[in-house]
């Protein structure tokens, strides 16, 4: 049977539950009382005033009503400077804010834009940072007064191929923050928007048992609006841009062939919704919508999809956006659901049917005109694309409006909600695969004695799982845990904790949950030995080195034991730095080669590549060299790993005296000379359990086999393939028993 580690389990469990309850209370208290950070003070001194507003010589004081500072030329105010992340949510694809410093003059023109900091992974991998900087600085000179009157039409969105979501977030945050400052300060004659007047027009929410209209009626009164694009028309529009690359790749087909046919309807209006969706689907729509939310139905057909497939990867529908006044709404997969068909009598056939809901904080007014803007893209190279935009306008028919129609006055959306939920939907396939893999590994650990009875099966399973870890978890999904995650969590608990930041990457979150559970059962080895992509890379390259007959170095035990503490000292040093500055700790955490070897796949500056390659080369001679002596993440996991509840690895009394086979074959030398396994260093590779059950390698099992043969009166032959002869086994074990008995007699005397 597996042995329990000797301690009072009930007492430990009570302590654990109390600690979790305390942590939960702490999380609730800090997350419920978050204060908005003021990032402007951290970045403004890095940029001279003259670079933000031409001719300025210094910055004025911080306003009390708004996180902006005046830009001065002598005694005169010539502009205002602010950081977008202080005013609107600028959370990027990475889950962290994109900090942009920008300035406006007194006429509400953007005079300066600086990208101060971002953590966008797509920019770190393959796309030069200079391109995203150029996109950001292209907003200099933009007139926000004109933008306020024609949101989305006064400037062309400079889409950067491969970074569509990031560019959209930058565009949205720059325009929203700029308009907010301009309206609040009255720049260029803009005024703050007011809340809707009492008694203003509102949408009729007619009885659900009211009339149901056919397709002809819905189209005739404007309940359904349409946009039709032909192949020839789109080719002509690209030709008008003068872009030779776009003109060289026209859409093939007859000029009158349908390129895209798109229809739009406000289905949160009951009569329109029931007419198009049917009673059953409209009932499901009502349950899906929360109070204050509206919904539009977008449907159509043609060779070009208004929905596309980019949302599967990025969680954002990058081809469409809803625009009303100077506000816009970009939809995420959390705001989206499919329907199966249009039920209106006489409706033609369509191939796409999708409902998008509009959140209350978008300030959308269903009785005011709005438009759906669709982005049409054309590939002009391997990754390069060109874009056109088309608008589909919509106005709710008068018969669905009660009261006088007013001018649209919508509230500024204050945040991009449920970003992590959007990302989880995007990563649901990868998350399911990872959960399945962790489930398989869990079963293997619980029934490890059954698996390790067959050495070949164990070896093939381990090599296969490590290959999966390296290629899927590591190089495909970028789900490499880091000591930075540990430091960030500790820093968040001590300051401004929010689960949202840790939910931004589903695979990382799942891995951390699995690590937390594994620490209680098996210690650090479940992750370090099986789920760490860089660890898998080290072990697989070492296996290739052994096949190539590269000599292996066995570190003397005295030296090996004294090298263990290095990784703990590295971790404590990084933890201390994180208390001073998290940015400083992230900088020095580059001692981890994970980002270079796994996340960036060696596409990085040469010093980082040389460092990572050097560690892998060392691992060719000393298996898992980095894991043994330098890994701060392994040290961070080993500390709580001491709390593990079970000791799953079986040992014989003779292990360590006289037999050292397991110790000699342990890949990380985690077995002490006296035979006990150090749980802080063990990687749970299960090789010692293979030897434990081996009838041709374990001296104890060979001796037992010989005894059974003798009792049965058969020749005491060694099992086929035995590594030791009968004589050697007898001599080694009998000599050990004689020595032990002699020592016991001496001790007794």
Q: DSSP characters for 140-183?
A: TT-BHHHHHHSTTTSS---PPTT-HHHHHHHHHHHHHHHHHHHH
Taking each continuous run of H as one helix and of E as one strand, the counts in the chain are 33, 18
pLDDT of 122:
46
Distance CA 691, CA 636 (A): 30
Evaluate if residue 460 carries a pLDDT over 90. Answer: yes
Q: Which residue has the higher pLDDT, 313 or 363?
A: 363
Q: Identify the band that residue 119 occupies on the pLDDT scale cut at 50, 70 and 90.
A: low
In sequence order, the β-bridge partners of residue 262 are: 227, 300
pLDDT the model gives residue 262: 92
- 162, pLDDT greater than 70: no
Average pLDDT of the residues in 65-87: 89
Nearest Cα residue to 689 out of 460, 454, 341:
454
From 668, 558, 681, select the one nearest 622 (Cα to Cα): 668
* pLDDT value at 326 more than 70: no
**Contacting residues for 364 by C-beta, under 8 A, at least 6 apart:** 294, 322, 324, 327, 329, 358, 370, 410
pLDDT of the residue at 200: 59
Name the token pair of 317.
């529908």
Average pLDDT, the chain: 79
Per-residue pLDDT, 89: 67
Of 27-31, 628-632, 681-685, least confident by mean pLDDT is 27-31
More confident site: 696 or 469: 469
Mean pLDDT computed over 141-155: 72
Q: What angle separates helix 164-185 from helix 129-137, to the nearest 10 degrees?
A: 30
Q: Which two tokens stand for residue 744?
A: 């016991």
The more confident residue out of 135 and 8 is: 135
CA distance 706 to 695: 11
Q: How confident is the model at residue 706 (pLDDT cuts 50, 70, 90)?
A: confident
* Cα–Cα distance measured from residue 55 to residue 47, given in angstroms and rounded to the nearest whole number: 14
Give residue-wise pLDDT tens across range 521-560.
888 888 999 999 999 999 999 999 999 999 999 999 989 9
The answer on pLDDT for 123 being more than 70 is no
pLDDT exceeds cutoff 50 at 743: no
Do residues 535 and 616 make contact, with C-beta atoms less than 8 angstroms apart? no
Q: How many CB atoms lie within 10 A of CB 558?
A: 8
Top pLDDT among 688 and 488 is at: 688
- pLDDT value for 6: 34
747 or 71, which is more confident? 71
Say if residue 272's pLDDT is above 70. Answer: yes
Give the DSSP per-residue string, 478-505.
-----HHHHHHHHHHHHS---HHHHTSS
Give 348: exposed, middle or buried? Use CB within 10 Å, 0-12, 13-18, 19+.
exposed
Mean per-residue pLDDT for 416-440? 76
pLDDT band at 436 (very low <50, low <70, confident <90, very high): very high
Structure tokens at 240: 């008008």
pLDDT digits (tens, 9 = 90+) for 651-695: 888 888 888 888 888 989 888 888 888 888 888 898 898 888 888
Is the pLDDT assigned to residue 410 strictly greater than 50?
Answer: no
Percentage helix, strand, coil for the chain under 3-state DSSP, each rounded to 5 = 50, 15, 35
Confidence check: pLDDT of 572 > 90: yes
Whether the predicted pLDDT of 590 surpasses 80: yes
Query: In whole angstroms, what is the distance from residue 737 CA to residue 658 CA?
Result: 9
Q: What is the pLDDT of residue 522?
A: 86
Domain range list for the chain: 40-189, 202-414, 427-651, 699-748
Q: What is the pLDDT of residue 502?
A: 65
Q: Is the pLDDT of residue 361 over 70?
A: yes
Q: Write down the pLDDT at residue 96.
A: 61
DSSP designation for 412 = P
294-301 and 352-358 strand pairing = antiparallel
Residue 720 CB neighbour total at 10 angstroms: 7
Annotate 72-86 with DSSP letters as a single string. Answer: EETTEEEEEEEEHHH
Percent of the chain whose pLDDT exceeds 70: 77
Residue 155 has what pLDDT?
Answer: 58
Q: Which DSSP string corresponds to 102-116?
A: EEE-TTSBEEEEEEE
Mean pLDDT, residues 614-627:
94
At 206-247, the pLDDT tens digits run 654 456 888 888 888 889 998 889 999 899 888 887 888 888
Interval 388-398: pLDDT, tens: 888 888 988 88
For residue 587, the SS3 value is: helix
**E strand or H helix at 356, and its extent?**
strand 352-358
Query: How far from 49 is each of 56, 177, 339, 709, CA to CA, in Å?
Result: 6, 19, 54, 92
């Amino acid at each position: 049977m597996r042995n329990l580690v000797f301690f009072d389990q009930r007492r430990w469990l009570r302590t654990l539950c109390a600690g979790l309850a305390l942590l939960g209370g702490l999380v609730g208290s800090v997350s419920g009382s978050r204060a908005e950070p003021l990032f402007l003070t951290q970045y403004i001194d890095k940029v001279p005033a003259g670079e933000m507003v031409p001719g300025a010589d210094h910055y004025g004081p911080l306003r009390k009503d708004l996180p902006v500072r005046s830009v001065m030329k002598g005694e005169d105010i010539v502009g205002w400077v602010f950081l977008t992340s202080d005013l609107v949510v600028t959370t990027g694809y990475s889950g962290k804010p994109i900090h942009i410093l920008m300035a406006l003059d007194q006429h509400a023109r953007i005079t300066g834009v600086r990208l101060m900091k971002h953590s966008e992974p797509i920019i770190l991998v393959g796309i030069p940072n200079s391109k995203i900087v150029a996109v950001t600085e292209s907003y200099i000179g933009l007139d926000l007064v004109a933008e306020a009157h024609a949101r989305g039409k006064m400037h062309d969105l400079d889409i950067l191929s491969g970074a569509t979501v990031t560019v959209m977030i930058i565009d949205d945050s720059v325009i929203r923050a700029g308009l907010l400052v301009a309206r609040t300060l009255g720049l260029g004659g803009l005024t703050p928007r007011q809340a809707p007047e009492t008694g203003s027009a509102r949408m009729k929410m007619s009885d659900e048992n009211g009339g149901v209209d056919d397709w002809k009626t819905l189209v005739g009164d404007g309940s359904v609006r349409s946009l039709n694009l032909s192949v020839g028309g789109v080719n002509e529009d690209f030709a008008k841009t003068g872009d030779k690359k776009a003109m060289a790749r026209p859409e093939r087909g007859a000029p009158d062939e349908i390129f895209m046919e798109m229809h739009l309807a406000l289905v949160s209006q009951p009569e329109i919704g029931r007419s198009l969706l049917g009673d059953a689907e409209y009932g499901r729509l009502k349950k899906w919508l929360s109070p204050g939310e509206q919904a539009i139905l977008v449907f159509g057909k043609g060779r070009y999809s208004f929905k596309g497939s980019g949302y599967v990867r990025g969680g954002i529908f990058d081809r469409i956006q809803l625009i009303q006044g100077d506000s816009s709404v970009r939809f995420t997969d959390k705001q989206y659901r499919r329907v199966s068909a249009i039920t209106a009598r006489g409706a033609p056939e369509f191939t796409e049917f999708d409902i998008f809901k509009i959140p209350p904080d978008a300030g959308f007014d269903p009785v005011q005109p709005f438009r759906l803007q669709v982005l049409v893209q054309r590939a002009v190279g391997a990754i390069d694309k060109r874009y056109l935009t088309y608008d589909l306008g919509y106005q709710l028919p008068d018969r669905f409006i009660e009261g006088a129609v007013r001018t649209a006055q919508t509230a500024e959306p204050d945040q991009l909600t449920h970003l992590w939920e959007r990302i989880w939907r995007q990563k649901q396939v990868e998350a399911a695969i990872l959960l399945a893999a962790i489930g398989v590994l869990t079963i293997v650990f619980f029934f490890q004695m059954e698996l390790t009875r067959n050495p070949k099966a164990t070896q093939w399973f381990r090599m296969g799982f490590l290959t999966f870890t390296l290629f899927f978890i590591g190089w495909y999904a970028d789900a490499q845990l880091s000591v930075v995650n540990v430091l960030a969590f500790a820093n968040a608990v001590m300051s401004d904790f929010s689960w949202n930041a840790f939910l931004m990457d589903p695979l990382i979150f799942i891995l951390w949950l699995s690590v937390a559970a594994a620490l209680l059962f098996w210690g650090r080895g479940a992750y370090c030995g099986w789920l760490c992509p860089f660890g898998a890379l080290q072990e697989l390259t070492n296996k290739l080195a052994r096949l190539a007959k590269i000599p292996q170095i066995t570190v003397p035990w005295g030296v090996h034991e004294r090298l263990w503490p290095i990784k703990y000292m590295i971790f404590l040093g990084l933890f201390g730095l994180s208390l001073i500055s998290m940015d400083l700790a992230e900088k020095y955490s580059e001692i981890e080669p994970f980002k270079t070897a796994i996340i960036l796949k060696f596409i990085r500056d040469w010093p980082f590549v040389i460092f990572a390659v050097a560690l892998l080369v060392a691992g060719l001679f000393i298996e898992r060299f980095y894991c043994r002596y330098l890994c701060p993440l392994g040290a961070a996991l080993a500390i709580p790993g001491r709390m593990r509840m079970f000791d799953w690895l079986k040992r014989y009394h003779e292990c360590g005296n006289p037999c050292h086979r397991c110790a000699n074959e342990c890949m990380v030398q985690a077995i002490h000379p006296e035979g006990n396994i150090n749980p802080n260093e063990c990687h749970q590779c299960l090789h010692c359990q293979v030897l434990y059950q081996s009838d041709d390698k374990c001296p104890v099992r060979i001796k037992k086999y010989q005894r059974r043969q003798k009792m049965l009166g058969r020749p005491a032959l060694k099992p086929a393939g035995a590594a030791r002869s009968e004589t050697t086994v007898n001599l080694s074990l009998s000599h050990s028993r004689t020595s032990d008995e002699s020592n016991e007699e001496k001790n007794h005397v």
